[in-house]
Amino acid sequence: MTTTMTFPEPEVEALRGGPRLRWGVIGPGEIANDFTTTLHAHSDQRVVAVGSRSPERAAAFAARHGVPAAHGSYEALVADPTVDVVYIASPHPQHLEHALLAVAAGKHVLVEKPMTTSAADTRALAAAARAAGVLAMEAMWTRYLPGTTVLARLLADGVLGDVRLATVDVGWPHRPDPADRMFDPVAGGGALLDAGVYGHWFARFATGAPVTSSTTGTVSDRGVDLQSVTVSTATGSAQAVVSTSMTAWTPGLAVVAGSRATVRYTDHFVFPASFALHHGADAHVWEERSGLRGRAGLVWQAAALARYVSDGRTESPVHSLDDAIGVAAALDAARAALDGGAGRPDGASPSVPERDTSTP
């Protein structure tokens, strides 16, 4: 039976009327296009410069979005005095290099997830940002969505009781193509770094940091993870099951089950989404009412970062650098468990036949 209850208000930063930053973009690809589109359409944040190794790509991006400055190098972008914060939207193996470049120039950074391709590199980036006194934040944008902030408050207030189990799946199919970076280990390919980062973050968010984990999955003949399932246990015995795939589509209907109540998403949890809270036979629905859909939801993390900078913070209070390191460590463990080099920090991988693997 569906009933009504009073849910907490979303704890999101106002998209207009708050602190405003001038953004520079490194890597004018698809995600940067969506990021810039929603910033300009739904917030006071403004992209004022873009940098690319290709002056033509930078110029085309600038013209498309009305961005004043287009730079033909990353060095010129981070040196631009009109830029307050740099959004790192290059392929993940380049995140560390580009973020360190911006940090060295004294710029704040929002780094697309995964922050880097290993826990060691994420630690290096965190140390550099802390030493420079600039804000560095992983672009775990799902954490800043209205519904996620409501769920965070329900968890903090004990509405679900003791969390016992979280299940989450993220899968988007990719047609096998040797030219696609998703199938290239050197380019940071594989399902875990691309989609699995969401699932492993959600498991940590819902149950806490994993103490033990076990991963089984399928690896390509180039050593790239195609699909995996990770079962982890956190302090207090809460367990999580994370399924990730780039060979099949999954609905992303995450569940957090507690001793008093259970939350079940009714839309894909990665995007602005609604969910139901079940308590026995009663179901209470929290509806996503912002009107923003899909990647338009990228805007909330930018507004949050602007507030953090205004408040003098150098880390996100809801997804800290230690949280980013923890997610990277979980991905390291899952990739390493799949063997074949998929978990190696250098991205190297021997050629191995496609196979199923199971590692305790």
Q: What is the pLDDT along the chain (360 residues), one digit of tens a residue?
A: 666 789 999 999 999 999 999 999 999 999 999 999 999 999 999 999 999 999 999 999 999 999 999 999 999 999 999 999 999 999 999 999 999 999 999 999 999 999 999 999 999 999 999 999 999 999 999 999 999 999 999 999 999 999 999 999 999 999 888 888 888 888 889 999 999 999 999 999 999 999 999 999 999 988 899 999 999 999 999 999 999 999 999 999 999 999 999 999 999 999 999 999 999 889 999 999 999 999 999 999 999 999 999 999 999 999 999 999 999 999 999 999 996 443 333 333 222 222 222 223
Catalytic positions are 113
Length of the chain: 360
CATH class as words, domain 158-292+320-359? alpha beta
Where in the chain are the domains?
Answer: 158-292+320-359
Kindly give the residue spans of alpha helices, DSSP state H, lying in the chain: 30-42, 55-65, 74-79, 95-104, 119-132, 146-156, 191, 197-207, 299-310, 321-337
Give pLDDT, residue 59: 98
Residue 139, classed as helix, strand or coil, is strand
**pTM across the whole model:** 0.91
Radius of gyration for the alpha carbons in the chain, expressed in angstroms and rounded: 20
At 82 the pLDDT is 98
- CB-based contact 217:190 (threshold 8 Å): no
The pLDDT value recorded for residue 348 is 32
